[in-house]
Every structure is written in structure tokens, then in C-alpha cells.
Structure 1
């Protein structure tokens, strides 16, 4: 193993030593220790916030074209370092090669999109009832933004907050997930350092809950952007609410793929397999509930089960596979428990259903009812539970029965009918004749209910998400008030 500087240094605006412990980087496919990473402490969070506070003003006042150039250089470096980034995404996170390639391209697009933000209009001019007064309402940086990122798409889901936050003049402290601290943290510190981000503007602090809590509670961190589980997000939202701190929460999902009786079943099954099994189902937008009209359920189930049975599971570093490992044994056991509990309640395994260590077969379940864990819980594994309906009203009720509200998909020969159903779904994103796992860098992304706080990432939404606003009124001469 090659020794890297991130094995014994943290990136606190530059590479520095820390008193925090080192943590083993474990390949989920084999259990092998493939590196060590330096982790942070609560004291390191305090250090980072002081450094960022000192650096933020000069970064915010840097001309927009210079910020944009740095972000464009970062985009170029992501492409140049693709082999290194993909290697760690595969080894550290269990990603298959095509998923790593897609994530890298999507991150590149995020950087290019963010580079265009600093040149956008930064405010508005409002009329005044006071003669001679000019009212300016403008966006200004928040200051320091804390980004807490997940392990499933560790590069993209970190940088979709980091890049626009930097573009809008903020300093950023990133806490990657412990399971993806290299590709989701250390390697991006190297990219942004090489791109020319000034010293003190960007920080990476790997670690567990202690580091995350210190970041959320620090009064010098003006905003938290969190992507992860609903349970953790609720706690972060509670803390930010008490501190009157801005937060963007992109949380879990239990997304429904609705198949109407007039759907193209071949296309629906293809969308279903992709939406349910991509990256082992470890995606917040996973098609976790398949809500299918009773009259076509048998054919749909056969087509989906056939696709599932052809998917190869294995170590993506050693062989070409469709499904790699789940991120760790805890998650693998959880998926197994959800399947077994649902089967005990009457569900039937049509395809897959077996776990081998951290590997789980692409699985299709039939006879799933709303009382079962496979319907009610976010599975985060390669499982497609099928639930039947007889009318559009029943389908809408089943989709809206979940407290989550991230994404949904509807398959029908009538786009008008599908759009009518979409209008009644309590979800942030609906895709007609497609699958649930969609992301375009220029389109605002986000959910409702337990899937988030209606914050949005992407395109023009970033202008508001990573700034606050200020009203400035100007009078050329002072005026006399009654007293």
C-alpha cells in the first residue's frame, strides 16, 4: 500500500497534523484494510471554524470571474484524476465501474454549473414610498457552511453542496461519512487545493458523530447542508432550529414506481430494475415500492424477476458485476431482516432473497401489503417489493401512505392521465415513463415530508440555498423625522 499524506494529516485549509486517531479504510467487498485515514476531533472543528472565519471575507470579495476559474479548474482536475477517484470509489464504497464513471461525470457537471453561479444577478431593486430612497435587496454569503455527506454517492453528494457554497462566497467545512472518507473527502481536498482554492477556505474533517455534532453546534457555522438518514437529519434540524441556523436536509426516501394497466410492461420492468437495483439499491431515490395494477401484475412480476435473475453480484474490483457489496455487515443484515420479516408476514420471494456476507442478491417480492416492513421502511438494498392496486385512487393513496416524499415514477400510455396522478402525489419529484433515480445538475432536486425540509439543490435553487439576503436602502441626504 502506498502511503498518502491524508493518512496522517487533516485538510484544515491546508494539510495539518491532528491529535485525532487514525481509522482503517475497509473494502466492503473483502473486509480488507486498504488504507488508514486521519480523523478529526471536536477541537479540530473549532480550529477549522476560526481559520474559515478569517479567510471568508477575502474569498467573498474575490472577483466573480476568479472564483469561476477556480471551479472550472476543479472540474478539469476531476476528469484528469478520474482513475484515482474511481479506484477509491470502487474499493472503498463497493461501487461498480459504470456507477463510479457516472458519479464522476455528474460531479464534473456540478463543478461547471457552480462556476456559472457567481456571474448571476445577485439581487433586485425595489421601489420606495419614501421620496429619494433606493432599495436594494441582495444575496450575500452565509459565512461558513458545514457539509455533512453520505457514503453512497460520496463525491457527488458532497460536491453538490461544496461547489455552490464556495461559488456564492462561503467557506466550507466538509465532514465526509466514515465509510467514504478518502474518495468523498481527502481526494477532493487535493483537487480543490490544486485548483487554487485559497488557504483556509475549504476544510475536510473525517470522523464520526462527535465531529458532526461539533460542526452542527458550532456558532460560527452559519448553515448545515446534510444528506443522510431521516433519523439523523431530524436531530440536526432540531439543533439548527434552536440555534436559528439555516439548514438544508436531504433525507431518506421510500419511493414508489406506479405501473398502470396500460403501461408498456417491458419499459416499466426495465425502469424498475434500474431504479431498484442500481448501486445495490443504496440510493435515497431507489424504487423501493412497486405499486402495480392487479390486471398486469403477473406479467410485470415475471419480467422484473427475469431481469433480477440475470444480475451478477460480486467484487467490482476483481470482476465485471452488476451489483457490488452493501456498504457494511450492519446494512446487509438490516436488508435481510426486512426481507425475512416481510416473508414471515406473507410476502413471497420471486427472485433472489439470499445474503452472502455483505452481498445481497437482486430480490423481487410479491404479495407485499402496507403492513409489511418491505412496504413501510426505506430498504436501502436491492429489493423490489410489489403491491397491487385496482384503481387510480387506490394507487395515489398507496403512494401517499408513506411519510417520505422524495420521488415517484408513473408508467402509462396516457401521459395526461399520469400527469393528473402526479399532481396528487406528495413527493418532490415525479418522473413519467421513467424510473425514480434521476438527477440533472441544472434542475432543483429535493423532497417533502420525512425526505427533507423542502430545500433544493441544483441550478438556480443554489443561488438562494447557499446565501442569505440583505436589504440596503440609500438616501442621498438625511431627512428630518417628527422627533
Structure 2
């Protein structure tokens, strides 16, 4: 990408170590933006400290009241303009995702597409009904109306950096909130700077959005800041616990979308070829670095040998490489820490009795697509979230056993069941403790218009997306109106 090319959304001045807070400013620190695919330096991004976060939250609170009072047509127009700009810069946005996050080209294009959809869906929210007329006594108007929370803090991850940030930013802004976004510092451009530029160019008033990449201290400051009313976090369960503890102690609303150890269940009446394709997609999309990735493939014993054979043969054809240099099925993992974590778990799984069918090797940040079969309950790979291109295959005898195995986890995000009998699959799925259930589809799914959230260690029971956005980013206010104040007897 030629950074000097006119008409780009991200220009050289946006890659010189600044953050966005109503303008491009120098924060407390800086970091080099590096491509995980080839080590290329992409530029410099600013890193916000605690004081930067607190100052941005205060500015956002001052701007929020004016933004909330802005006529709904104007708020909607800003969202539509941001969506139009994203459409015009599709290729540039996708290229940043490829270069900065290690996304393959199809994954990056898909992410840009659903991000545009998020913006258009959010642009409809300002003109939607924001409350209800409740029954009451004669002579009194009884209303329940939705009002913005104030300032929403958003902490977003590296894996789908653009979409997982925008799915919260867009609806929060649409209903009249201001936002302070802290993207993962490893994907600050595609998951932060791009969003700042879209809204800057779309005419969002100064102060309504701040984009401040930073480390855990910046996230902690967001949870502590008195001017922040809510924190929405997407990331690991361990980090989510800390966010929930700090934000809860400060009496903030908290929304947590965390990790998962998700199961795709292949019943004995399944079409094996389709089952393999759905399991491949569930396991290896974006190198398995997705909260909805299939951490377990549960296969009925009578078809397990045939399934493992077909599955392993398919996996052996998957290629891995720098997605900016060619067409590959898999790109790099995000960091050496993640590679080491995956390698350690694969070794531990084999030591505990799993069969390594293929893969298990690494070259820098590239981890070979791996298949572990004969993984028993109790094996480390059966319980731990790997977040890498590693398939964990476990067999079961009865539908009852499949339910037991799938529920044998603290997580509760996504599950999928492959079967020719929808009734049988639904009866099984109805007993799974998950927030997302897919019959004859993959565990990795999102259509923007759907409520998305997990239970247990996968979240705190909240949802984001579609009709859930009103619940997420507003609060109820009860209003009564009488023509004349009553004369009470006291």
C-alpha cells in the first residue's frame, strides 16, 4: 500500500505515534506497529496512559449531552456517512487487517463487510421507538423510555479488531452515548485508527469519540474513570474477570464477551463430507483465534474412524503463510506468546494420550494446522482454550454422553450440531449450556442482527447485536405526566 497515495483513509500523519481524542494528539507513549506476517514496520501508534484515558473520558462526558440532544436525523446521517466511507475504502480497510492482524484476504474482506453492515444497522436506531406507553390510571400518561448511559468505555481485541470494536461503537454512538475506545495495541490501526478516521470524516462532533490504544493500565483507568458509565469488554476470560471486578467496584454497568471451549457435535447420521467442512471452518478460521472456534469436535463412535480420516486428509492440504504475499488458508498467530501456548498444550495433550495426526510444528508465528485425536476427558487440550489452529477430537457413544461432554466446561459461548435429523439435533442442543446454538452449521457465526453473548466463563449474561443493542447501551427511565399535581392527604 502506498501511504502517500491521495484519497487514503489512513495517511502518514495518522501513523506517527498519535491517538485520536477529537483530534490527533501525542499521548504518554508510542509503540511500533508490526505485521505478524512478515515483520514489516507499518508505522507508529500512540499508547495512552491512565491520565490520557481520564482526560478523554471527561471530554467525552461534556460532549455527550450535546450529542444526545442532537436531532435523530443528524445522528443517523453521521452513521450512514461512516458506512458509505467504509464502503468506499473497502480495499484499504481489508489490507490493513491483512497486514496488521494476519488475516487472510477472504477473512479480512468478510470482516469489512459485516462492519459496514453494523454501521448501516446502527444508523437505523436513532429513528426507532425508544420506549413504551404503559397502562395507568385515568388522567396520567405513563411512559418508559430508553436513555443513553453517558460515556461508554469499550475494550476490544486483536482477532476481529475492526468488527468487534465497531459492533459496540456504532450502536453506542447511535443512541446518544459518547465512547472511549481502547483497542488492542497490536491492532491499533485496523481496530482503532480506521474507526477514528471513519467518524472524523463522517462529521461526528469533537469529543464524542476517543480512540486510545493502550495496555492493561489504560484499560484499568477506563474501568476506574468516574466519567465512564459502562464498560464493554471483549477478550480473554482472565482479563474479563479483572475488568468486571474493577468496573463493578465502581458501580458501572459491565458487559463481558469472553472466551470459549466450544463444541461441534457430529452425530452418526451426519453427512460426513459436510460435517468435515463445518468442523474445518469452526476450527481453523483465522488460525483458530476466535472466541467461537471449535475447541472440541465431538464425533459419535460409529463414524469416528471415517471422520478422523477425512478430516485429517483435508487439514493436510491447508497452507499457512504471509497473507499479504499470497493466497493461504491460514495466516500467522498474533504473537510468539500465543505460539508457545499452543505448542505447550499440544505437547501436553500428546503426553496425556492424544494421537497427533498431523501438524504440531511451528515456524516463527506460523503454526501448522494440527489434529489431535483420541482426546479424552481430563486431557489438558480437552479443557483449555488453545486459540490456535489445533483440532481436538473426542468420541462419544450416546446423545446423552455428547451433552455431558459438551457441558463439561466452565465456558458457555457457542455450540453446533451436525445431523440429518433436525428434531434429534434440536433436542440435544436444547440441553447445552451456551448462548449461541447452531443446528447444521459451524460454531463460528455472526450476522450482526442477532443477539450475541455467552454464559458462565464466556460472559456475564449480557448480549450485543440486533435487538440486544437497545438493552446494552441504554437505560430505562420511568416518566409520568398529569395535567395537574394531585392534593395528597398528608
Which residue of 20, 40, 52 corresponds with 1:44?
52
1:66-465 matches, cutoff 5 A: 66-129=74-137, 131-465=138-472
Provide Cα deviations, 1:304-327, integer angstroms capped at 9, x if missing partner: 111110001111111111100000
8 Å CA contact 2:156, 2:182 repeated in 1: yes
CA distance in 2, matches of 1:370, 1:75: 46
Shift of 1:12: 0.7
Gap runs ≥5 in structure 1: none
8 Å CA contact 2:223, 2:250 repeated in 1: no
8 Å CA contact 2:298, 2:402 repeated in 1: yes
Provide Cα deviations, 1:236-271, integer angstroms capped at 9, x if missing partner: 111222222111110001100001111111100000
CA distance in 2, matches of 1:55, 1:413: 55
Shift of 1:62: 1.1
- Single out whichever of 385-394 and 32-41 deviates more from structure 2: 32-41
CA distance in 2, matches of 1:445, 1:8: 34
Secondary structure at 2:325 match in 1: coil
Secondary structure at 1:219 match in 2: coil
Provide Cα deviations, 1:421-454, integer angstroms capped at 9, x if missing partner: 1110000111111110000111111111110012
1:50-65 matches, cutoff 5 A: 50-65=58-73
Secondary structure at 1:24 match in 2: strand
CA distance in 1, matches of 2:26, 2:280: 46
- The alignment of Structure 1 onto Structure 2 pairs a total of residues equal to 481
CA distance in 1, matches of 2:18, 2:345: 40
Provide Cα deviations, 1:278-335, integer angstroms capped at 9, x if missing partner: 1000000001100110110001101111111000111111111110000010001101
CA distance in 2, matches of 1:174, 1:416: 43
CA distance in 1, matches of 2:334, 2:45: 17
Shift of 1:402: 1.0
Which residue of 32, 43, 60 corresponds with 1:24?
32
8 Å CA contact 2:17, 2:31 repeated in 1: no
CA distance in 1, matches of 2:420, 2:479: 53
- Single out whichever of 112-121 and 154-163 deviates more from structure 2: 112-121
CA distance in 1, matches of 2:186, 2:78: 28
CA distance in 2, matches of 1:239, 1:176: 18
RMSD: 1.1
CA distance in 2, matches of 1:413, 1:99: 29
- Single out whichever of 81-90 and 178-187 deviates more from structure 2: 81-90
CA distance in 2, matches of 1:27, 1:126: 55
Which residue of 465, 471, 478 corresponds with 1:471?
478
Secondary structure at 2:274 match in 1: helix
Secondary structure at 2:227 match in 1: coil
Secondary structure at 1:465 match in 2: helix
CA distance in 1, matches of 2:426, 2:16: 51
CA distance in 2, matches of 1:45, 1:59: 20
CA distance in 1, matches of 2:40, 2:343: 23
Shift of 1:6: 4.2
Partner of 1:7: 16
Provide Cα deviations, 1:19-64, integer angstroms capped at 9, x if missing partner: x121011211223332111111111112111211111111101111
**TM-score, normalising length from structure 2?**
0.96
**TM-score, normalising length from structure 1?**
0.98
Shift of 1:84: 2.1
Shift of 1:187: 1.6
Shift of 1:132: 2.2
CA distance in 1, matches of 2:18, 2:337: 29
Query: Could you list the runs of 4 or more consecutive aligned residues of structure 1 that deviate by over 4 angstroms after TM superposition?
Result: none
8 Å CA contact 2:264, 2:443 repeated in 1: yes
Gap runs ≥5 in structure 2: 4-11
Provide Cα deviations, 1:391-443, integer angstroms capped at 9, x if missing partner: 01100000000110000000111100000011100001111111100001111
CA distance in 2, matches of 1:461, 1:88: 30
Secondary structure at 2:157 match in 1: coil
